[in-house]
Amino acid sequence: MPALAPNDLFTILPALLLSLFGCALLVLRFDSPSFPVLLLTAAEALAAAALWRQSGFLGLTGFSGAILIDSFGLLLNTVCLAAALLVAWGAYAHLARLGEDHPEFYSLLLLAQAGMFLMIAGTELITVFIGLELSGICLYTLTGFHRDNPRSSEAALKYVLLGAFSSGLLLYGFSLLYGLSGSTHYPVIARALASHSPSEPIILLAVVPLVLGLLFKVAAAPLHLWAPDAYDGAPTPATAFLATAGKAASFGLLLRLLVGPLHDLRPAWDGLILFAALASLTLGNLSALTQSSAKRLLAWSSIGHSGYLLLGLVAANRSGIEAILLYLLVYTLMTAGAFLLLAGLDREGITDFRGLLWRHPGVSLLLVILLVSLAGLPPTAGFIAKYTIFLSLLQAQKFALAVVAALYVAVSLYFYFRLLREIITPSGPTPPTLTLSTGWRAAVGLAALLSLTLGLYPEPILAWARSTLP
């Protein structure tokens, strides 16, 4: 019987720190309103240090193979960490305006992130499932965090019901994988599945529900129906976390499974992923065209971004996976920035942005950078991210797909620039007012600044993404 070794604890050190501080936030009550944010910042700093320390021990496994430290997991965990930090800084002023600035929000952020760590670093089915549910439960609560708002509660209810349904699908696939291999550890499953052909009915029965459950979690069409409502109803900072860290962790789980134990069964899931990618691009971008609320517009465009991310998997080559990781990093910065910017405004309609430039030129500049990055135009990081996805498609000789994806960039330009046009239109009957706090300025400023600088000087993140695969 393997006993618990210090090594095991070291492999989950970031999750340990996050959950410890998450529990501390529930217990420690101080009158200072900035205390929870400071404590969360301290937790994230320690977790970042732990991740950095772990980067010196690549390949280390813990808990008899349930956790694996590799640069793939470290990159995605850093993405989640950045998302949590930005969201916490940008959230408190918005939550205070709603009358809901309570330590529970930050505690749930930390607990959700601990679950995401298990999802990303886990290489064992039960561990990743518990991690998924842990982050899921926290995200459901964050979605319904604004208790006075019926829309927030409705969004949480929809998210819970559909989330439970998709977890059931995923678990069904997991149980068949366990039945086929007799183990919940990825390497053993990979070995056991090697003798099966992808067209066997039992393989399809295991792989199809599993992939469908995961596609739901990453909010890809046609399993996206929960996303616009949940994103729209949730308090805007919670939306920012849901759309970024939630998606990054789910992609981590998806990639680890599909590129790991299920890699040889590619014909069984290839078509599903291709269909989901095209459907997400089409539905996400076309539905965003007709939205009148900026929050819903960003929600639909986030479904479109899921389509681009899945295209990296369709490319079926090394550079495709690297492109997904790069895209997730950049997507997190620009989407968290954009949603947090919305959180600073008191209204969410697109026409409510009219005249923002003349009233708050600095904030408008940040919004312009974020929108240009979301649209994927140079010189921003969004361009680099889309470019690497297209490049991987071209390397895989999938020219038609690359052309279709590029056409949807043109569609997305229309709705992002609709927002820009409103900003520069001078006549505003009631110009938007902003609630600005130091943390909000830091979060949105950092997100916009990084979106710009990483676009001008992408070498570090390109090299980082390239180093993730052996």
Partner 1 sequence: MDPVFFYLFALMTLSGALVTILRRNPIHCALGLIFSLLGVAGLFLLAAAEFLFAAQILLYIGGVMVLFLFVIMLIHLDVHTLLRPYSRLWPLALATTLALALELAWLIRHGLPQLPPARNPLPSPAPGNTEQIADSLFTTFVLPFEAASLLLLAAIVGAVWLARKKEAAS
Write out the residues near partner 1 by the rule CB under 8 A: 1-4, 8, 12, 19, 23, 26, 62-64, 66-67, 99, 102, 104, 107-108, 111-112, 114-115, 118, 124, 126-127, 129-131, 133-134, 137-138, 140-141, 144-145, 147-148, 153, 156
Rounded-to-integer distance, Cα 323 and Cα 294, Å: 28
Task: Please state the closest distance from residue 99 (CB atom) to partner 1, in A.
Answer: 7
Rounded-to-integer distance, Cα 87 and Cα 306, Å: 20
CB of 156 or CB of 299, closer to partner 1: 156
CB of 167 or CB of 412, closer to partner 1: 167
Residues forming beta bridges with residue 293, ordered by sequence position: 349
CB of 180 or CB of 402, closer to partner 1: 180
At position 23, the amino acid (one-letter code) is C
Residues 175, 237 contacting (CB under 8 angstroms): no
Q: Record the tokens describing residue 380, joined without a space.
A: 């921003």
CB of 138 or CB of 259, closer to partner 1: 138
Nearest alpha-carbon partner for 226 in 289, 173, 291, 302: 302
Nearest alpha-carbon partner for 11 in 77, 57, 75: 57
CB of 117 or CB of 269, closer to partner 1: 117
CB of 78 or CB of 135, closer to partner 1: 135
Angle at 445 between CA 440 and CA 448, to 5 degrees: 130
CB of 138 or CB of 409, closer to partner 1: 138
Instruction: Please spell the DSSP secondary structure of 253-311, one letter per residue.
Output: HHHHHHHTTTGGGHHHHHHHHHHHHHHHHHHHHHHHHT-SBHHHHHHHHHHHHHHHHHH
Which residues contact residue 166 at a Cβ distance below 8 angstroms, ignoring those fewer than 6 apart? 212, 213, 216, 217, 223
Task: Please state the closest distance from residue 166 (CB atom) to partner 1, in A.
Answer: 17
- What b/e string do you get for 105-114 counting C-beta neighbours within 10 Å, with b at 16 or more? bbbbbbbbbb
